[in-house]
Structure 1
Amino acid sequence: MSSNYLPPPTDPPPPFPHPPKHRYVHPLLAALVGAVVGAGAVGSAWAVVGGSHGAGKTSPSSATPQTPRTFALNGTFELADGVIDDGTGGCQGGDGYDDIFEGAAVTVYDGAGTVIATGELGESTLESEGTCRFDVSVGNVPTGRGFYKVEVSHRGTVQLSETEAESGAFGASLG
């Protein structure tokens, strides 16, 4: 044998490390995980920002929702024709005006024609000139509508500005 000959190693060389196998992640799963992480981040931000506005409150759940401001629409409604004296100083409609009486429906609409409050005709008074005057008071009318339409029974609407409605300037007549 020659001297250039090296004996085989006694221990085999260490194996080469295998590269890690890449796992396939379905795009839908990745999107779901992203959405959950994003929602958590947004929720955390809201908690931090909301906490700075709620100084002195014990918890966010103790906050009460804002209720819209309302007013009572007050005024009068007069019936000039078909008036019937009820014998007690009050009156009601007759002769085609049978739907006009204490308790008849009063409906308040906004400009879009949406019903926003309801009430009824109040106490009636027989006036000396033969008209029947009713008190009108409809509560819980929301503010901020600009103008209002008021209907007594099914007799058509009368339009008022918000200033008129809030100041008790409603007045309508029939007959």
Structure 2
Amino acid sequence: MSSPEQQPHIPPPAADPETDQNTAAEEPAPAPAGPLPAPPDHPPTPSASRWSRLPRGAVFVIGVGLGAAVVGACWAGVSLADGSEEAFSTDGTLTVSGIGAGLASGDLCTGTDGYDDIDFGAQVSVTDAAGTLVAKGSLGLGEKTELGCEFSFTVDDIPPGSKFYTVEVSHRGGLTQTEDELRAGGLAFTLGD
């Protein structure tokens, strides 16, 4: 009897525990039972937002406008909640009587004869009922009039709400005015004879 050719027996490679774990992890999960849903004909496209369709400049302008609106609304809310009104201004004149002899009407003049502190730039102070300085202005140029030397003044940013205010030029003592009188302006003060 003839014997079949014998081939050498090669043992299978030894199992490597790390390889076996990787192989098990890489094996696909069993397919679910039942049919799978059909894939869509085309992949969904992301919809572009309205902002992305606008030019950059337009988005910037819209952002600035919205920011300004928010700041304005906050400012208005704080102002209304505070109950305060806007600051106001007043104006008037101070006349130093009996000076400027020899000057023609309309000529520039200054305070003299004990009124040397009354001149262009002299401080005009406004204090509230508590005696707190709340606003300052200054005298304008003096101009000769029939009564003497007249200086105009304006005081801005006077906060409202005081029962009364005192207006003082230089250190000459103050004159008390109501808020309505100050708001009306046209105040006329006189020093001297």
Conserved in 1, the CA contact under 8 Å of 2:99 and 2:149?
no
The equivalent position to 2:89 in structure 1, one of 68, 72, 87, is: 72
Normalized per residue, the structure richer in strand is 1
Corresponding position of 1:173: 190
Give identity over the alignment, percent: 36
Corresponding position of 1:94: 112
Structure 2 distance, partners of 1:95, 1:150, is: 23
Structure 1, gaps ≥5 residues long: 1-56
Q: 1:93 to 1:78 in 2, by over 3 A?
A: same
The equivalent position to 1:104 in structure 2, one of 95, 112, 122, is: 122
Kindly tell me the number of residue pairs found equivalent between the two proteins. 118
Q: 1:113 to 1:159 in 2, by over 3 A?
A: same
TM-score, normalised on structure 2? 0.54
Query: Which secondary structure state, in structure 1, belongs to the residue aligned with residue 118 of structure 2?
Result: coil
Conserved in 2, the CA contact under 8 Å of 1:118 and 1:138?
yes
Corresponding position of 1:146: 163
Structure 2 distance, partners of 1:138, 1:68, is: 17
Structure 1 distance, partners of 2:162, 2:111, is: 32
- Higher alpha-carbon Rg: 2
Structure 2, gaps ≥5 residues long: 1-65
* Per-residue CA distance 1:134-157 (angstroms, 9 max, x = gap): 112101111121211000000000
TM-score, normalised on structure 1? 0.59
